[in-house]
Structure 1
Amino acid sequence: MTADLLKVQSPDGISLAVERVGQGKPVLAVHGTTSTRGRWAPVLPELSAHFALYLMDRRGRGASGDAPGVHSMALEFADVAAVADAISQQTGSGITVVAHSYGAICALEAALLTPAISRLVVYEPPIPTEAAPESHDEGPVERLSALVASGDNAGALLYFYRSVIGMPETLIGRMTTRDDWPARTAVAPTLPREIMATRRYRFDAQRFAQLTIPTLVMVGAESPPRYQSSTALLAQTLPNNQTVSLAGQQHNAIDAAPDLFIRETLRFLAP
């Protein structure tokens, strides 16, 4: 399996790293909050056998740059759109975007910014809804900021998994033994800003009612109400969507049940 590392410039001048693996129709993969492009390792061999996968490091992590000052989620929407445009220009075709969690919000918004994105696969974007609004408790953000300030990046990441998203201990144990655990701990300083960005995000149903591209929305059948609620919102809003509930799974099905995630993704993307 060969890989190439590409660089794409964001609209505000940040260098975004994109790793290309495999051959075939282009698929851009956008990771979530606690990871880098390495988060796709559990599904990479199978998906790259079918597609040319472009794995981006979102800003502030991995081989991508970052900008000083106040973080804006809108900048990340533009980042994904810029990478999609670059891939489309290089390949001469529309692209599919597969995205997880925070990255899934970025992918959805990017699809409103560029016609280069022709299909979407999103897994549990943490969209605040009336049924499951974001918490106003500042405690988790303050605790994460304190752990990062003390240099305890691993402690901050573990706190996020346990107290913010409620990841099961068995899965946390497996996460700490993964090859990308050091890369995950390295991005812990971005956790507070991304929690706050998610809390400020507001989904505009009128805008998304115009997003007609085919979209697969996946959710873990055992995931908390916030993800069930955001999935239901997308199912009600997007005019050309399919919704799939993964039996027995929660927010990290890509890690816990990669074969199931792959099966549903390939089923949707089959010619």
Structure 2
Amino acid sequence: MDEVNTAPGRLRGRVRSRDGTPIAYERYGDGPPLVLVSGALGTAAAERPLGLLLARRFSVVAYDRRGRGGSGDTSPYAVEREIEDLAAVVAEAGAGAALHGMGTGGALALAAVAAGLPAGQVSVYEPPYSAEAAQRRRRVATLLGQGRRGAALTLFLADSGVPAELRPGVAELAHTLAYDLAVLGDGTVPERELARVHARVLVVDGGASPAGTRQAARALTAALPLARHRTLTGQTHEVAPHVIAPVLEQFLAEDRETVGAV
């Protein structure tokens, strides 16, 4: 698709997913391709602070998942359609693009690679796998099914610990919470699916995150064939871009050197 230069070093464009849904993205930087996959209520704009830091070494593409920002939202929803969206973005970013997923975006990235998406290395930050949270997620899903988006959003944000006033503009994205719930399935680490992920994976969590979140990160690492785990001291689920950016740069650089040495 055509790209439009909207600011120095930043391009915007759209690709078409397999079902025809337009998927909007931003691209900045020059180097090996890296795609950022946002989590619940996230957009390409929300990923921009991290993307601009990584753009010093990579050609970074951040995109609006379907139903968000400049992307379309063709019904009916299915996780398979989101995987096709990501595949279209990866094809636009460049062959062998690495993936970094935040929260549910990490779960989506891993599901896509398990389904055969030809991506490079994968890094994820705190995919919210949690069997204990399943009941709360069912309540969110029930509220969404009743059309009570505001109540669902309030419950979700209360569970995440992030006040609504710190997430401006998220009310219009409340319906996409159902998409994230679908990506997570029953909430447990999908071990059989993850066994098919043969990319090198970095699983990252925050040292100040809840114990259950950190336990899930370790369980995820154990379920992946080629994974390593790292904890960022003092960080929570709202990880600081300047803290995680050098960690991702080091991981991706090390893996390129390893591949080149084989």
TM-score by length of 2: 0.82
- Structure-1 separation of matches of 2:38 and 2:195: 24
Report deviation, 1:263. Answer: 2.1
Contact 1:211 1:238 in 2 (8 A): yes
Contact 2:200 2:227 in 1 (8 A): yes
Counterparts of residues 251-262 of structure 1 (less than 5 Å): 251-253=237-239, 257-262=240-245
- Structure-1 separation of matches of 2:137 and 2:214: 21
**Unmatched segments (≥5 aa) in structure 2:** 1-7, 258-262
Contact 1:128 1:199 in 2 (8 A): no
- Structure-1 separation of matches of 2:147 and 2:117: 42
Report deviation, 1:30. Answer: 0.6
* CA distances 1:44-83 after superposition (whole Å, capped 9, x unpaired): 32111211111111000011111123x2223212321232
Contact 2:189 2:216 in 1 (8 A): no
Which residue of structure 1 lines up, in the alignment, with residue 260 of structure 2?
A: none
- Structure-1 separation of matches of 2:126 and 2:101: 9
Which residue of structure 2 lines up, in the alignment, with residue 20 of structure 1?
A: 27
Which residue of structure 2 lines up, in the alignment, with residue 64 of structure 1?
A: 71
- Structure-2 separation of matches of 1:123 and 1:42: 16
**Unmatched segments (≥5 aa) in structure 1:** none
CA gap 1:139/1:108 in 2 versus in 1, 3 angstroms? closer
Contact 2:133 2:187 in 1 (8 A): no
Which residue of structure 1 lines up, in the alignment, with residue 160 of structure 2?
A: 165
- Structure-2 separation of matches of 1:137 and 1:14: 27
Report deviation, 1:200. Answer: 3.9
CA gap 1:81/1:112 in 2 versus in 1, 3 angstroms? farther
Contact 2:34 2:93 in 1 (8 A): no
Of residues 181, 185, 198 in structure 2, which corresponds to 1:212?
A: 198
CA gap 1:59/1:258 in 2 versus in 1, 3 angstroms? same
CA gap 1:95/1:14 in 2 versus in 1, 3 angstroms? same
Per the alignment, in what secondary structure is the counterpart of residue 134 of structure 2?
A: coil
- Structure-2 separation of matches of 1:137 and 1:79: 24
- Alpha carbon RMSD of aligned pairs, Å? 2.5
* CA distances 1:190-225 after superposition (whole Å, capped 9, x unpaired): 224433553446654234224222111111122234
Per the alignment, in what secondary structure is the counterpart of residue 85 of structure 2?
A: helix
TM-score by length of 1: 0.79
Per the alignment, in what secondary structure is the counterpart of residue 13 of structure 1?
A: coil
Larger CA deviation: 75-84 vs 45-54:
75-84
CA gap 1:50/1:108 in 2 versus in 1, 3 angstroms? same
Percentage of pairs with the same residue: 27
Contact 1:135 1:199 in 2 (8 A): no
Contact 1:85 1:114 in 2 (8 A): no
Which residue of structure 2 lines up, in the alignment, with residue 82 of structure 1?
A: 88
Larger CA deviation: 107-116 vs 202-211:
202-211
* Number of residue pairs the alignment of both structures matches: 246
Letter in 1 for 2:208: E
Larger CA deviation: 244-253 vs 190-199:
190-199
Which residue of structure 2 lines up, in the alignment, with residue 113 of structure 1?
A: 115
Which residue of structure 2 lines up, in the alignment, with residue 268 of structure 1?
A: 251
Letter in 2 for 1:86: E
Of residues 52, 68, 79 in structure 2, which corresponds to 1:73?
A: 79
Counterparts of residues 29-178 of structure 1 (less than 5 Å): 29-69=36-76, 71-88=77-94, 93-114=95-116, 116-129=118-131, 132=132, 134-135=134-135, 138-143=138-143, 147-148=148-149, 157-162=153-158, 164-167=159-162, 175-176=166-167
Report deviation, 1:158. Answer: 4.8
Report deviation, 1:101. Answer: 0.9
